[in-house]
Copies of this chain bind each other. A is one copy, B any other.
Amino acid sequence: MSDLLGFAPVEVAARVDDRAWLQAMLDVEAALARAKARLGLAPADVAEAIASRCDVARFDVDSIAERTLASATPVIPLVEDLRALVPGSAAEFVHAGATSQDIIDTAVCLIAKRAIDTIVHDLVSCSDRLAALADAYKRSPQIGRTLLQHAEPTTFGFVCAGWLVAIDQATTALNRVRDERLAVQLGGPVGTLASFGDQGAELVSSVATALGLATPVMSWHTDRSRIGELAGALGITSGALATVALGVGLLASSDIGEVAEGRPGGSSAMPHKRNPVRSVLVTACTHRVPGLVASILAAAPGELQRAAGGWQSEWPTVTDLLRLTGSAAVHARVMLAELRVDTERMAANLEQVGETVLAGLTADQHVAAAEAWIDRVLHARL
């Protein structure tokens, strides 16, 4: 599926596209069937018959998407089609006892978990590269700019250390959400899982273990704090990446010229242009994130036992958040990996500024102060 305007690399888009979503829902149905079998709530061969059909390649995505409009949930056509695929005797066990929100919320968590794994991988690459830059340029002086005015000297390594800390904080936030907050949702129609009698809690726990998700203390149909925290962590990540991209874009501007992207972009009109393309891509992706986080938070208050519209709006919004943050992480990784640093221009710019900015200290004292913090950051990271 092409993504002409959103700047998502193909592999990032694929992680959260319609096929990925349907597969995640099928993974939940399969895990549910098997958990029932483990608890004696369904025959083992029935569970396997169901689980073995839970492969998106067997389903018609376009048809399911179209039929979704009749019920406002993709789970109804998906379950219909899954029931049609299994042997007659197994059909009644498909999805039984669950409600569509159970499948979708658990699928969101699965999708998010898989996406976060990759995003964190990209963030760690960014961070490792920034650590190397911080170390390499720890004593490379550069004029600091506050409100875009020349301020006092810093070093480029210090700037990279600041970016590094922000990205590591984002990584921590994402990992925490993944490990503690992405959970199985399983409550049945009104959250009580009544049709499973006294085996409800055990069933939830069994599905959670199988899918590698957390076990909630009870169903969370109208407690959207898990999704809100996911959105928040993606918002933090996006902000950290955007800060790096803005910094690179400004430092790479023609009038500053202290860094450059390794593969700048061309222009359709001006052959001499060396556009900071990856910086632009990161900025374009991350700019869209805050409004989407607000949309998620605004959807939190749901009507009694199931929201009539707000919850449904979460699905594509979380999808966008994962795709955009994931894309920004990829572009930032490439931007940093290929970044060129021009210490001569840094020195020349600093020299032009004059001595006023030294604030009574020597240039070496400024550098030494920067270096001490960099060492502290790099040490804390080990």
Contact = CB atoms under 8 A, between A and B. Distances in A.
Interface stretch (A36-44, A45-53, A113-121, A218-226): A218-226
B269 A68 contact: no
Contacts of A212: none
Interface string A263-305: 1011111101111110111111111111111111111111111
Nearest to A275: B147
B300 A242 contact: yes
Given A201-B372, A275-B72, A372-B198, A165 B305 contact: no
Contact of A200 (B233, B296, B372): B372
Interface string A57-68: 000011011101
Contacts of A255: 145, 148, 150, 253, 255-256, 349
Contact of A280 (B18, B158, B169, B308): B308
A239 B266 contact: no
Nearest to A16: B5
B151 A273 contact: yes
Identical chains bound together, number: 4
A240 interface: yes
15 contacts: A2-B62, A4-B74, A5-B316, A69-B281, A76-B265, A147-B280, A151-B305, A162-B218, A162-B220, A193-B369, A195-B359, A217-B376, A232-B233, A255-B255, A284-B313
A86 to B, nearest CB: 16
Contacts of A359: 189, 194-195, 269-270
A146 B239 contact: no
Contact of A191 (B99, B154, B226): B154
Interface in A345-382: 349, 353, 356-357, 359-361, 365-366, 368-370, 372-373, 376-377, 380
Interface size range of chain A in the complex: 35 or more
Given A2-B62, A150-B254, A309-B280, A72 B265 contact: yes
A326 interface: no
Contacts of A289: 297
A315 interface: yes
Contacts of A256: 255
Given A255-B255, A284-B309, A365-B197, A61 B4 contact: yes
A22 interface: yes
6 nearest CB pairs, A to B: A283-B309, A239-B300, A232-B232, A144-B190, A146-B306, A291-B291
Interface string A109-148: 0000000000000000000000000000000000111111
A4 B305 contact: no
A75 interface: yes
Nearest to A76: B268
A68 B9 CA distance: 10
B268 A240 contact: no
B316 A288 contact: yes
